């Protein structure tokens, strides 16, 4: 999706199409709205109806500041080096990858050394502050990946 963000999200882009079956969850119980944005499956976990999900989606799209985007990625969910490399090469300056592995060639990577044994970062919100200063990152336009 990030390879072609304009196609998916900017005005005149793709419309949500609500569906009843998930490509990824075999026995999806339809307890929340599920939609496709072209080929991307979006799970609206916190909404009760399609109309509520669509309204929130449209409201949030309208609030995007296209010249001030920040992206975070981590190595959970069987993420591969190849996916991290693709993310690292995206044409956005304000991006960060949290990883349990230290790939020195990935310039956006922040290594979570304490998660090496697990092989993935896990719930990064609990430990990111040990390795990454999000306030500095935001205040410096996404250019500071340090912990200080």
Give residue-wise pLDDT tens across range 90-147.
999 899 999 999 999 999 999 999 999 999 999 988 899 999 999 999 999 988 888 8
Name the average pLDDT for the chain: 93
pLDDT at 13: 73
pLDDT at 12: 66
Residue 109: give the domain boundaries. Answer: 71-139
Residue 86 included in any domain: yes
Residues 38 and 81 in one domain: no
**What is the rounded CA–CA span in Å between residue 65 and residue 115?**
33
Residues 95 and 132 in one domain: yes
The string of pLDDT tens digits covering residues 10-69 is 866 789 999 999 999 999 999 999 999 999 999 999 999 999 999 999 999 999 999 999
pLDDT at 147: 82
**CA of residue 64 relative to chain centroid, distance:** 15
Q: ∠ CA(82), CA(85), CA(86), 5° rounding?
A: 90
Residue at a domain's end among 62, 80, 110? 62
**What is the rounded CA–CA span in Å between residue 136 and residue 125?**
16
**C-beta separation of 74 from 99 below 8 A:** yes
Residue 146 included in any domain: no
């Amino acid at each position: 999706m990030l390879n072609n963000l304009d196609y998916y999200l900017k005005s005149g882009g793709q419309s949500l199409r609500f569906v009843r079956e998930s490509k990824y969850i075999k026995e999806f119980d339809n307890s929340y709205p599920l939609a496709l944005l072209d080929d991307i499956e979006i799970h609206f976990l916190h909404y009760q109806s399609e109309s509520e999900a669509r309204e929130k989606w449209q409201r949030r799209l309208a609030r995007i500041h296209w010249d001030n985007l920040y992206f975070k990625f981590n190595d959970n969910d069987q993420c591969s080096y190849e996916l991290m490399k693709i993310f690292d090469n995206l044409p956005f300056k304000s991006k960060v990858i949290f990883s349990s592995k230290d790939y020195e060639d990935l310039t956006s990577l922040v290594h979570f050394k304490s998660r090496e044994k697990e092989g993935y970062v896990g719930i990064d919100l609990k430990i990111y502050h040990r390795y990454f200063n999000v306030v500095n990152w935001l205040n410096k336009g996404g250019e500071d990946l340090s912990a200080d």
